[in-house]
């Protein structure tokens, strides 16, 4: 069985560690969210959180995320200082015995949805990415220079319609949700300032001379610099794929496919140079085949996000229930459990990849509770339970 984990947002989270423990969770996924992006994580702050988790009978399984600052992604003048800080944080985490770190290399925006209150037929609430609505945000609300050139005529026409039907308030909410609300709780780059749109545009502008080759070069530079520290402490670095896994806002994308994963795991030769297999993000590209991904880079998978999306058409999708989206969860879990057996036979110590039920739809009392977008209690618990049931059955079948 994989290690059962749960994302907890620290003491501000209204789900307590004691409650999480009751759900059969073994490990916690969290970050020092109070430390600003780019600053050093001190040992005493790390230990406070670690001890608290351990006092509740669990372990700090994964740091999600130790954020990679924009200056490292763009390779600007501040890069060396930011890398130095990153390495000190890594070293401090290593000294505290933390062994897995999730990070991403997505420019500016960590993830994007156009509707965070999408009603499903059964009354549950999901999150939706509607491509024409996103285009309307990009072209008409944000007014990114030359944005219209990135869309087909068909999408442009739909975006115009969508925009025309929106009220001023709806337009503002859309921009706020994309730039601030869905980013803030995971250490977003822009923050909640009055001129968030201008600020966001200026961040996008930093990428005007950065194409995917340049971004790859910067990722390689990052890995070559930090991986020796990760190896020294045997920390497993796990890059999270792009969400959504196609270019948005004219930004380059380099972590969207099996080929991308293969290229990245070769950028620095170490098993610790690994990936977070986020099924939900990857599933938006129908060609992404999980069996084949696990076959190819399985030994580098250090963390797993289990959820599923369902495509509407082209680039639009919503987050489905964990077992009923476009991910063949049975095949994926089976491939991961086989990978585990393989590690066992190779004598590897890190056989239990931590997984978490990634996101969840709002159901039941979730409507009366406050939660970060995508992280309601009951929807995630339902996902955790369904996945655990399926995993237990497959494990019995494979290892009887």
Question: In angstroms, what is the minimal distance from the CB of 186 to ligand DNO?
Answer: 4
DSSP state, residue 362: B
Provide the angle, in degrees to the nearest 10, between the axes of the packed helices 43-55 and 79-95. 40
Give ∠ CA 328-274-35 in degrees, rounded to 5: 105
Pairing, β 236-240 against β 273-278: parallel
Question: In angstroms, what is the minimal distance from the CB of 240 to ligand DNO?
Answer: 4
Contact assessment for residue 303 and residue 276, using Cβ atoms and an 8 Å cutoff: yes
Question: In angstroms, what is the minimal distance from the CB of 183 to ligand DNO?
Answer: 8
Q: Which of 151, 318, 359, 366 is catalytic?
A: 359
By three-state DSSP, how is residue 192 classified?
coil
Q: Which of 305, 318, 321, 366 is catalytic?
A: 305
In angstroms, the Cα distances linking 168 to 165, 171, 174, 371 are 10, 5, 10, 26
Catalytic (active site) residue 96: no
Question: In angstroms, what is the minimal distance from the CB of 336 to ligand DNO?
Answer: 18
Provide the angle, in degrees to the nearest 10, between the axes of the packed helices 329-346 and 290-297. 10
In the complex, the residues that contact ligand DNO under the rule CB under 6 A are 64-65, 102-104, 110-111, 186, 240, 374
Question: In angstroms, what is the minimal distance from the CB of 107 to ligand DNO?
Answer: 12
Which run of H or of E encompasses 80? helix 79-95
Catalytic (active site) residue 278: yes
Residues in CB range of 225: below 8 A, 6 or more apart: 83, 87
Catalytic (active site) residue 151: no
Q: Which of 99, 243, 358, 366 is catalytic?
A: 358
Question: In angstroms, what is the minimal distance from the CB of 347 to ligand DNO?
Answer: 30
Taking the least distance from each CB to ligand DNO, the nearer of 147 and 223 is: 223
Catalytic (active site) residue 240: yes
Give ∠ CA 272-278-283 in degrees, rounded to 5: 135
Residues in CB range of 377: below 8 A, 6 or more apart: 15, 365, 366, 369, 371
Contact assessment for residue 103 and residue 90, using Cβ atoms and an 8 Å cutoff: no
**13 has which bridge partners?**
none
Q: Which of 278, 300, 302, 322 is catalytic?
A: 278
Q: Which of 240, 300, 302, 322 is catalytic?
A: 240
Catalytic (active site) residue 322: no
Contact assessment for residue 163 and residue 140, using Cβ atoms and an 8 Å cutoff: yes
Question: In angstroms, what is the minimal distance from the CB of 309 to ligand DNO?
Answer: 12
Catalytic (active site) residue 305: yes
Taking the least distance from each CB to ligand DNO, the nearer of 158 and 240 is: 240
By three-state DSSP, how is residue 66 classified?
coil
CA distance 342 to 299: 9
> In the numeric block, which tokens belong to residue 201?
């545009």
CA distance 67 to 174: 25
Which residues are known catalytic residues?
Answer: 240, 278, 305, 358-359, 375
């Amino acid at each position: 069985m994989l290690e059962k984990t749960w994302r907890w947002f620290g003491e501000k989270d209204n789900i307590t560690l004691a409650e999480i423990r009751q759900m059969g969770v073994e490990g916690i996924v969290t970050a020092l969210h109070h430390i600003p992006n780019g600053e050093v994580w001190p040992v005493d702050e790390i230990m406070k959180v670690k001890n608290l988790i351990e006092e509740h009978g669990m372990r700090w399984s994964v740091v999600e995320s130790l954020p990679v600052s924009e200056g490292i992604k763009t390779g600007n003048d501040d890069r060396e200082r930011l890398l130095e800080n990153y390495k000190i944080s890594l070293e401090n985490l290593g000294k505290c015995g933390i062994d897995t770190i999730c990070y991403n290399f997505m420019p500016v925006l960590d993830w994007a949805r156009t509707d965070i209150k999408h009603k499903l037929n059964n009354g549950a609430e999901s999150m939706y990415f509607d491509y024409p609505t996103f285009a309307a945000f990009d072209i008409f609300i944000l007014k990114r220079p030359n944005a219209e050139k990135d869309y087909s005529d068909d999408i442009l026409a739909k975006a115009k319609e969508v925009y025309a039907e929106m009220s001023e308030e709806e337009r503002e909410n859309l921009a706020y949700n994309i730039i601030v609300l869905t980013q803030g709780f995971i250490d977003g780059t822009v923050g909640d300032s009055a001129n968030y749109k201008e600020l966001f545009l200026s961040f996008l502008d930093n990428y005007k001379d950065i194409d995917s080759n340049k971004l790859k070069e910067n990722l390689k530079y990052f890995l070559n610099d930090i991986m020796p520290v990760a190896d020294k402490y045997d920390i497993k670095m796990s890059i999270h794929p792009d969400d959504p896994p196609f270019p948005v806002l004219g930004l380059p994308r380099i972590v969207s496919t099996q080929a991308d994963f293969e290229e990245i795991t070769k950028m620095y030769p170490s098993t610790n140079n690994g990936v977070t297999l986020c099924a939900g993000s990857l599933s938006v590209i129908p060609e992404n085949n999980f069996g084949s991904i696990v076959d190819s880079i399985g030994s580098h998978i250090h963390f797993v996000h289990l959820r599923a999306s369902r495509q509407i058409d082209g680039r639009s999708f919503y987050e489905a229930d964990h077992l009923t989206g476009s991910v063949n969860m049975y095949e994926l879990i089976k491939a991961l459990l086989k990978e585990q057996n393989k590690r066992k036979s190779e004598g590897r110590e890190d056989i239990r990849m931590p997984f978490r039920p990634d996101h969840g739809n709002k159901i039941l009392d979730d409507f009366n509770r406050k939660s970060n977008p995508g992280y309601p209690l009951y929807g995630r618990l339902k996902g955790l339970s369904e996945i655990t049931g399926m995993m237990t059955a497959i494990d019995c079948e494979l290892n009887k």
